[in-house]
Each structure stands twice: as C-alpha cells, then as structure tokens.
Amino acid sequence: MKAVLNGRETEAFEGLQRDDLLAVHRTMLLSRKLDDKEIQLKNQSQIFFQISGAGHEAVLVAAGVTLKPGYDWFFPYYRDRALCLRLGVTPYEMLLASVGAKDDPASGGRQMPSHWGHPAYNIVSGSSPTGTQVLHAVGAAEAGVIYSRVPQIPDRDARFHADEVTYVSLGEGATSEGEFWEGLNSACTKRLPILFLVEDNGYAISVPVEVQTPGGDISRLVRSFPGLHVDSIDGTDFFASLRAMRTATDYVRARKGPAFVHARVIRPYSHSLSDDEKLYKPPAEREAEARRDPIARFTEFLKKNGLASDDDLAAILSEVDREVNEAALKALAAPKPAKSTAQLWLYSPDVDPTSAAFDTPAAPEGKPETMVSAINRTLKDEMARDARIVVFGEDVADASKKEALPVVPGKGGVFKLTHGLQRLYGDDRVFNAPLAEANIVGRAVGMATRRLKPVVEIQFFDYIWPAMMQIRDEMTMMRYRSGNTWSCPMVIRVPIGGYLRGGGPYHSQSGESIFAHCPGVRVVYPSNAVDAAGLLRTSIRCDDPVLFLEHKHLYRQTYNKGEYPGKEFMIPFGRAALRREGEHLLLVTWGALVQRSLLAAQQAEKDHISVAVLDLRTIVPYDWNAIAMHVKRTNRVVIAHEDQVMCGFGAELAARIGGELFEHLDAPVRRVGALNCPVAYCPDLEEAILPQSSDVLKAIRETARY
Ligand SMILES: Cc1ncc(C[n+]2csc(CCOP(=O)(O)OP(=O)(O)O)c2C)c(N)n1
C-alpha cells in the first residue's frame, strides 16, 4: 500500500499498520503523561525529583520499535522514558522509582527517578554523571565480541547474540565530556557493534549547543571517524527517526561497525523541575520549539491520514490518564526501603572474600621469586582457570602488531607484570588500551556488568585520576545504586608509591586513603611476593571491584621474595599479618613501610623497646580485630605509612583507636608518614619528604618513653 506523507508518496508508513501506529502514539503520550504526573507529585512533595523526557519521545519510540529488549543491550540516559516504556518497563515500575520505593526495579529507591535499569530488558543501571555511560556501553559491546571469540568460556552461548546491538544515548551537552570521545575512539578502532544516539535539544541546562560543540553540529564533527555510520535527523519526526534507527541498527547488526544518530529534539519542560528555561531561552525560540512538538506532530499525522478520529484519540488519552493515575496511586502506597537496609549491597552478598573459603594453604614451589614474578604467574594461572578473565591497559600486551609478535620478546607492561599473557591467551583476552584511563576503567565496568572478569592495569597510580569518575561514581556504586541488580566485579592493578630516587611528583604518589573513602571497592596493598600472589587470587575470585595496589619499589626487592605459593593459594581480605612479635608497642603499617618498620623495630630492640609489627595487607577491609588485640596487649601504638600524614589512612586508624580503645592506651597514637607536599625529584628532597626508618624509630622511641 502506498500512502501520502509530507507531500511524498511513501511505502505505507514504513511498514507499520494502524494498530502499530496507534501503539506508537500511545507510548509517546504515556511518556509525556508520566512526566506530567511526576511534576504534579513533585509539586505536592510526594516525590523528590523530576526530570522529563518531554520532546524526545518520537526518536525514542522509534529506537524502541527497532531494538530488541532482553536481546540487545541498553545504556540509556535520563531522557529515555519513552524508550524504556517501549522496551517493557511499566508506568508503575517507573513511578516506584519516583517515590523511592523498595521494589523499584531500577534501584530499590536509591537513585533519582529516570535513572533507568531493568534486568529483564538488559537495561543496565545508569547514573547521573553525564557521559560516563558511553564507556560502559563500549565495554558491553566489546563483551559480546569477546564472548563470540573465546569458545573456552563455558556458558558463553547464553551470554551473547551474534547480531546483538548495544545502544547508548546522551545529550549533545554530554558530548563535550572526554568519556564520549574516549568511547567513540574505541568503538571505531575496534569496529564495535554499538549504536550511539545523541538527543540534541539545543541546550545543556542553560548552555546552548554552539558553546559545547564547534559549529554547533556534533554529527558534522564525527563524520571523519573511520567506519562510523553517521546520520543526522529531526528527532521530533517519528518516521524520519524510524528510518534512521533502522538503517543504523541494520548497519550495526551486519557487523559493519558502529553507528551514530544525531537527533534534533526539543525540551519543552526546561532542564528539570529545578530549572526555568524562560530565564535564558527567548520566547520566539520557545514558540518555534512548541511547533515541533513530536506528540502534536504525530497526532496531526494520524488524523490527516485517517488513522485516528478525534474520538479515537480522546479514548487513547483517557485510557492513558487512567493507567497513569492507577499506577501513581499504587506506587504511592508501595513500601519504602527499611532504614536498616541503608548499607546493604555495598559488596556481594554471595561471595565473602574475608571468609574461610579464601583461606587456602600454600603449596610452595621452586625458588624464591620477586613480586613481579609472583603476580605474573598468578595472572597466568588464573587466566588458565577462568576464560572470562580479560587483561587490558596501556602497554600490557606483548605486541599489538600481529607480525611483530613472533620476532620480538614482547613488552608485557612497563614493569613486565603482564609479560607473556598475550602470547599465552591471545589478542581477544590480552590487549593494549588507548592512552586514556577513564576508557580503561569504564570499559571494564561495562564488560563486568556482562560478567566478564576484567583485570585491568592503570600504568601508574599518579595517572589514575582521569579514571576517578569511573571508579568513584560508577565502579564502586554499581551494585549499591541498583539495589544489587547489577554489579561490576573487576580488578584494577596499579603500581603505586615512591622511594625510587628520582621518581618525582608524578611517579611516586601514594593515596590509598582516597579510595578507602569510596564505599564499594576493596583496597588491597601487599608488601611481599607471597602475599601479592594470594591476595591477587582472592581479588580475582571475589565478586567485588578491587583496587590492587602494587608498590613499584617492592617489585624487585630481595627481602620480600618468596616461593610461588601455588595455583590455589589465597589470603582472605581483612586479615593482617604479624611480621614481628613485640611487647611494648604496636606498629601498624603496610606497603613499603613494612620493611622500614621492621628495620626501625630492630634498632629499637637495642633500647630494650620490643615492637610488634602488624602488616595490614588490605586497607578495605582492614583487620580491626588484630589491631585491637595487640593494642590491648601493648598499650602503645605507632602507625606508619608512606602517604602524607595529613588525611592519610593512619588518621582513620588513629581516630578509631582513640575512640574505641582509649582506656587501653598509655600514650597518644603517633603517626609517621610523608610531609604534606608532593614527592620531589632530587633524591635529597625525596628522602626528606618520604618517611624513613629513622622517622619510624623516632616515633617508636617517643611513644615508648611517653
Ligand atoms: C559530569 C557531570 N557534570 C555536570 C552534571 C550536571 N548536569 C546534569 S544534566 C546537565 C546538562 C546535560 O545536558 P545534555 O547532555 O545536553 O542533555 P539534556 O539534559 O539537555 O538532555 C548537567 C550540566 C552532571 N550530571 N554530570
């Protein structure tokens, strides 16, 4: 059948029948009416936040018509209500989120409304930071490719589809975020099956697009990306949107590469209920936008083509109103989460890495090896055990160029920790990442949500900061914010610390306390080769995100070498090791300060001060029981760490010891750490800045004498 549309004769409505078209209209209307209901509830203080999808409905329903819920993967941003409705999320489920109900499937009342997530439809929990989701989507798309290429993964067939698509959307403002460009880079370099939708409503809160994007047209900028299918459309026109989404999706399903649809939409309800666009958008512009309202346009189309009468439309409207009102009443009556659940699901409820299951005996073999060798062997053995493990980072591969691999020894990391992994396990499981730390962590988050096990490397702790958003706002919060529906168990290995004689401010940093302040991540800090092997295995086998800190100066020392403890050796988290017995004073320490503290304790012995040295080994969780037990015995404590004293992790320990063990103390708790400044390059300065054995000895003496 042919039909007349916009003055042109077209295939009958892109193959959609009358019922389909009425369903499209109904979903757009339902989306708008849900926004209206939320606005009403917010004004009545029955909900606490509102952000609308108004004006974006046409392109989103077109996306929903094209993509497959529970088959494709979805990383939608907060305007995507109409898409989520079309995928299957119900108005009641959406309003459960608005009221912060316990049974809200997106977050269990932990996130603002419109932060979508639904396991049944593969809608992965989204957050508030603009643009972070792009990297998750890239990782998820990559996960599908890895599943398709690694037959050793036992149940991989249940985890991917050969022609699946990963959808990610964002506003035009969010395309200014580095994470957008980092994601686009990887999508194109790896030709990933991912579909980007940029919903361009012309403003990011009050900032117009020409301030965000040179020339004001993001699709023009990305056209030069190799292999990227790019389309630019009026996203308020349902049929233009449908054609664009179908063409883009076909391109991705056919594995031709990634696709990018730039849809110009409108934003009639201001940015959110906390914003009033009349403050910065001229009336003429607002009026022009109103004329492009997608629902008005589609209604007009239905009427003009005799597909719906005024009565039909009124009936749909009243049915939608009834559904929204009923859903709202039900949601308002839904139970809220109990206050006692506030700290639930920071970590996996299923796998407890502090438990006896992770306390396995060592089976030492061979001769003493360095920490580098212990970590490398552990990675090799774990990758052999679990084909879901993928390793990537800067320079971690032996050689990215295929032709180079047979004729070169291989790089395998700037410190050689990953040497030989690519050769053993292939390019699909071990590969170099671009020089972009958020990219590494964000992609790993996306892969982990699809149950691969990324063990990634950040080349130096000093350069972890571009990934901080991904670590703090994404990796550590995924499980918590989704009410234990989504999680991203993964390991970030990071060379840390100084004492390099010349490391300078950017190759010497410490800062474990910063990550200890991010609930949801385990922080591990081994001081010797055997512990590194046991703790890394626990990190890989546990079900939580882990920051695994490897001290560069300890990598190749002789004093911390050990025999490789075997393929099953694990050390539980939260279990400190007493490195030296002592009666007069407890020295709590970790990392590079363990050896320095042992030397100081030896010296103190000459003054008849007997010092117990406790190596924490893990910072989160830390072994409070061991600390308390020894404090009660020795009544004096020194805490020694490499990081600055100011806000170092010792501050937390000292405060807790002071608060909970006060009556057992015969002296104030002393802390030893770095000066409150960067670590300078000149070795004399470095020595003055970082804590030395002599500093530890001084604190021991003062505390013992007090
Ligand atoms: C990283 C980050 N910076 C700032 C914000 C605050 N913020 C929320 S939405 C927004 C504007 C987003 O604009 P755009 O990407 O164009 O999407 P739109 O809301 O217009 O659909 C800003 C600045 C945020 N959520 N995250």
Q: What stretch of H or E contains 302? A: helix 294-304
| pLDDT (tens digit per residue) in 374-416 | 999 999 999 999 999 999 999 999 999 999 999 999 999 999 9
d(CA 590, CA 538): 18
Does the beta carbon of 133 sit less than 6 angstroms from any atom of ligand 1?
no
CA of 301 relative to ligand 1 center, distance in Å = 33
Residue whose CA is closest, atom 1 of ligand 1? 129
The torsion angles phi and psi of 445, rounded to 5 degrees, stand at -60, -45
Sequence-distant (6+) residues with CB within 8 A of 74 are 67, 83, 87, 116, 121, 122, 123, 124, 166, 167
Residue 8 clears pLDDT 70, i.e. is over it:
no
Q: Which two tokens stand for residue 236?
A: 């308020």
pLDDT band at 263, cuts 50/70/90? very high
Burial of 655 (0-12, 13-18, 19+ CB in 10 A): exposed
Residue 211 clears pLDDT 70, i.e. is over it:
yes
DSSP letter string, 226-254: TT-EEEEEETT-HHHHHHHHHHHHHHHHT
State whether the Cα torsion 588-594-600-605 is positive or negative: positive
CA of 267 relative to ligand 1 center, distance in Å = 13
Does the beta carbon of 174 sit less than 6 angstroms from any atom of ligand 1?
yes
Q: Which atom, in ligand 1's list, is nearest to the CA of 212?
A: 16
Sequence-distant (6+) residues with CB within 8 A of 616 are 525, 576, 588, 589, 590, 622, 623
Over range 125-139, report the average pLDDT.
Answer: 98
pLDDT the model gives residue 614 = 99
pLDDT the model gives residue 11 = 62
Q: Which atom, in ligand 1's list, is nearest to the CA of 56?
A: 21
Residue 2 clears pLDDT 80, i.e. is over it:
no
CA of 135 relative to ligand 1 center, distance in Å = 16
Question: Mutate which of 35, 50, 60, 130 to test ligand 1's pocket (most atoms within 8 Å of Cβ)?
Answer: 130
Inter-residue contact 232 to 221 (CB < 8 Å): no
| pLDDT (tens digit per residue) in 658-673 | 999 999 999 999 999 9
Does the beta carbon of 4 sit less than 6 angstroms from any atom of ligand 1?
no
Instruction: Determine the straight-line distance between the first and last CA of the chain, rounded to whole angstroms.
Output: 95
Does the beta carbon of 175 sit less than 6 angstroms from any atom of ligand 1?
no
Does the beta carbon of 56 sit less than 6 angstroms from any atom of ligand 1?
no
CA of 433 relative to ligand 1 center, distance in Å = 27
**C-alpha distance from residue 626 to each of 145, 563, 699, 700 (Å):** 46, 26, 21, 19
pLDDT band at 28, cuts 50/70/90? very high
CA of 74 relative to ligand 1 center, distance in Å = 19
Does the beta carbon of 206 sit less than 6 angstroms from any atom of ligand 1?
no
Over range 37-42, report the average pLDDT.
Answer: 98
Residue whose CA is closest, atom 24 of ligand 1? 129
Residue whose CA is closest, atom 11 of ligand 1? 204
**C-alpha distance from residue 456 to each of 446, 582, 624 (Å):** 13, 39, 29
Residue 9 clears pLDDT 50, i.e. is over it:
no
Q: Which atom, in ligand 1's list, is nearest to the CA of 128?
A: 25
Does the beta carbon of 203 sit less than 6 angstroms from any atom of ligand 1?
yes
> Of all residues in the chain, what percent carry a pLDDT higher than 70?
98
Residue 321 clears pLDDT 80, i.e. is over it:
yes
CA of 552 relative to ligand 1 center, distance in Å = 39
Inter-residue contact 110 to 481 (CB < 8 Å): yes
Does the beta carbon of 207 sit less than 6 angstroms from any atom of ligand 1?
no
CA of 204 relative to ligand 1 center, distance in Å = 6
CA of 52 relative to ligand 1 center, distance in Å = 13
Residue whose CA is closest, atom 21 of ligand 1? 171
Over range 284-304, report the average pLDDT.
Answer: 97
Q: What stretch of H or E contains 296? A: helix 294-304
Residue whose CA is closest, atom 25 of ligand 1? 129
Q: Which two tokens stand for residue 182?
A: 């980092």
**CA 153 from centre of chain:** 23
Question: Mutate which of 81, 205, 213 to test ligand 1's pocket (most atoms within 8 Å of Cβ)?
Answer: 205
Identify the bridge partners of residue 214 per DSSP, sorted by sequence position.
Answer: none
**C-alpha distance from residue 87 to each of 20, 72, 90, 118 (Å):** 14, 10, 9, 10
pLDDT the model gives residue 12 = 75
pLDDT the model gives residue 456 = 99
Which of 515, 499, 556 is closest to 674 using CA atoms? 499
CA of 128 relative to ligand 1 center, distance in Å = 8
Over range 46-74, report the average pLDDT.
Answer: 98
- In angstroms and rounded to an integer, the radius of gyration of the C-alpha atoms of the chain is 29
Sequence-distant (6+) residues with CB within 8 A of 314 are none
pLDDT the model gives residue 164 = 98
Residue 678 clears pLDDT 90, i.e. is over it:
yes
pLDDT band at 492, cuts 50/70/90? very high
Does the beta carbon of 79 sit less than 6 angstroms from any atom of ligand 1?
yes
Does the beta carbon of 205 sit less than 6 angstroms from any atom of ligand 1?
yes
Residue 521 clears pLDDT 80, i.e. is over it:
yes
Sequence-distant (6+) residues with CB within 8 A of 291 are none
Q: Among the options 56, 507, 551, 553, which is catalytic?
A: 507
Q: Tell me which of 11 and 450 has the higher pLDDT.
A: 450
Q: What stretch of H or E contains 195? A: strand 194-200
Q: Which atom, in ligand 1's list, is nearest to the CA of 204?
A: 13
Does the beta carbon of 114 sit less than 6 angstroms from any atom of ligand 1?
no
The torsion angles phi and psi of 10, rounded to 5 degrees, stand at -130, 165
Is 507 among the residues known to form the active site? yes
pLDDT band at 116, cuts 50/70/90? very high
Which of 471, 443, 467 is closest to 142 using CA atoms? 443
Does the beta carbon of 271 sit less than 6 angstroms from any atom of ligand 1?
yes
Furthest-apart CA pair in the chain: how many Å? 99
Residue 6 clears pLDDT 50, i.e. is over it:
no
Does the beta carbon of 169 sit less than 6 angstroms from any atom of ligand 1?
no
Which of 381, 201, 212, 369 is closest to 292 using CA atoms? 201
Residue 102 gets which letter from DSSP?
T
Q: Which atom, in ligand 1's list, is nearest to the CA of 174?
A: 15
CA of 266 relative to ligand 1 center, distance in Å = 15
Does the beta carbon of 584 sit less than 6 angstroms from any atom of ligand 1?
no
Over range 472-494, report the average pLDDT.
Answer: 98
Residue 5 clears pLDDT 60, i.e. is over it:
no
